[in-house]
Structure 1
């Protein structure tokens, strides 16, 4: 049964057309990589794009975009950092003392910060706000689904056998929260040999097509392992990369 909740009011100086959640049932599947890939692609198409880094205890988006400073605010409102490509970003890493400062907060505090990222951040005019959530079905995804007008989510997964159970957990949570699932993106699908071009399934054979069919969902991309992407992320220049493997995801976003 779907549950309805009272949404948090948007910041008074912001206008956000579409809020897209990016979720995963488990960690280590490259969810932030997929978030940044979609954000960069939409930005290159001319859309105004923002990323809310809601992975409070494991933020990685600012580093991927080469942002290392502090967020600016007046005590009541906060301005997001702006990357070189124009993407607006808010993350707890822009608020703590240093990038290495751990966030040791209990669930209610974490949930409160996520709400503040929505109500207190002056996002301005945004076409697509991507919410990069921590793995699992805990406090942050629950807060986002309850408090933000999420128009749809994209589930990120990997090829391992246990993926069916993990995907279904995320899918079922979205159903309980009455949030549409736009589709599934599989990361780490294969490694292409640089010499012969053969595709090597490092994490086993993919089962994403049958899982998607079972849930009546679309597969929006199968992403290979590519050291070039990791190199760009480490250099803080991820937005310069093109990711043709998420073309279907971009089509789905534009059709919302």
Structure 2
């Protein structure tokens, strides 16, 4: 009798979602990551095919869970929005993230940043931004014919892919939407929303007060002997509006 030995199927490769390291090393580092990621979410809120993530593992090679990095912020154009436990490139039409941001923290070393640059260059990133708040330095790389090329841009730079503007002319960087509006923090956004709500409420109250004044003026003018056309001319109302107010008295 010939015995057959069944070969065991290769075990499924596990792609970790976390390295158990904190997303940020201090409050400033965290706030800058949230500033970039949150405002990019707003910028592309109406485009279902722009995927934006923060501190998400990117695995560029199927079958290899060792080659990975988690950019502070990454943007993949032409990829649908939605939850992901990690960005597995072979499940994304083999599309690498187009734009990557790294915010320097005290924990970052020169060797680590060199490895990240090599990784992003090797695996297809088109725009790579590193910001160091300690000296307000923004470094920019764009993909050229032979890889990522460092760009000497002065104090302002416009992202070719995102059309946002970076400005390092002041004490800290500023980022601007394509229409020139500045990136804002969550607190600033809430303050703007509250101010807009208060303005809307004030406008509504003013409109109600104006309507009350009209309702009071119409009967007074009619009682003085003016006809509806004359009342309308005096108050800037049509005859129909005067009649409607008079009927509701």
Q: Same fold (TM over 0.5)?
A: no
Give the TM-score taking structure 2 as reference length: 0.32
Higher relative contact order (CA 8 A, sep 6+): 1
Larger radius of gyration: 2
Give the TM-score taking structure 1 as reference length: 0.31
